[in-house]
Structure 1
Amino acid sequence: MHEEKIREALNAHWHASATGDLDAEHDIYDDNAICDYPQSGERILGRINLQALRSHHPEKPSGFDVRRIQGNGNLWITEYTITYEGRAAFTVSIMEFCNDKVVHETQYFSDPFAAPGWRSRWVEQIT
């Protein structure tokens, strides 16, 4: 039952993220949650600061697509794409839960890149 509750919370969180519902988006976080952005070297301390930071983003996403959510116990990973100003960023969110709230999240963002032609005979395109 614990994992079903977490999956429901994650689905609600990502839906709220996609629709811009900042209050519902941040219900998943513990008051003292930590969110790390390793690529920029930033750490956000506390749900209030995380919500404030996200509410001041200069652009609203024009696309948001969850590819998959996987996890068990207290560790859950979501792969998704988020589109700002016509550019998609492939994103991985790693969330650690305690008492059904996120206490630590790490997010990685990467830009798409063109596949080199030399490997085309071994691959197929995904969307």
Structure 2
Amino acid sequence: MFPSDIRQALDEHWLASARGDLDAEHAIYHDDAICEYPQSGEIICGRQNLQALRSHHPGKPSGFKVRRIHGEGDLWVTEYTIDYQGKQAFTVSIMTFKGGKVAHEVQYFADPFDAPAWRAQWVSVPG
């Protein structure tokens, strides 16, 4: 599979995620894909379980924005934000492809935080 094909599949995946189209969102995964959430220690085995888990989320995402996608070969990283009931989560998805579909994904979620005053002289904060 060419990198442009994977990039197109990722673009379609994230657009489907943003509009809540669960079938199109999960078409990118192998049937036996594994998804890990390291912060909670959870491992979801199988595309069907992953789709079922996401379809039962009590705080359905209300906003979704891809910041950037970068990858090469079978390893691709997406940085994005998700809004859950007015709260933003900064998210990183690391996907490993096999045969044109995602075989393994690791997702990291982080809450925003205020910049500490002690480092103000070295940084800029937008807005």
TM value normalised by structure 2: 0.96
Deviations 1:59-108 (A, max 9, x none): 22111110000010000000001010111011000000001100000000
Q: Which residue of 2 aligns with 1:116?
A: 116
- Sequence identity, in percent? 68
Any stretches of 5+ residues in structure 2 without a counterpart? none
Q: Which residue of 2 aligns with 1:43?
A: 43
Letter of the 2:100 counterpart: D
Which contiguous aligned blocks of 4+ residues in structure 1 show a shift greater than 3 angstroms?
A: none
Once the 2 structures are TM-superposed, how far is the Cα of residue 6 of structure 1 from its aligned partner? 0.2
**TM alignment of 1:81-100, pairs within 5 A:** 81-100=81-100
Report the Cα distance in structure 2 between the residues aligned to 1:66 and 1:84, rounded to whole angstroms.
15
Letter of the 1:101 counterpart: K
Report the Cα distance in structure 2 between the residues aligned to 1:123 and 1:51, rounded to whole angstroms.
40
Any stretches of 5+ residues in structure 1 without a counterpart? none
Letter of the 2:40 counterpart: S
TM value normalised by structure 1: 0.96
Q: CA RMSD in A?
A: 1.1
Establish whether residue 62 from structure 1 lines up as the match of residue 91 from structure 2.
Answer: no
Q: Which residue of 2 aligns with 1:7?
A: 7
Q: Which residue of 2 aligns with 1:78?
A: 78
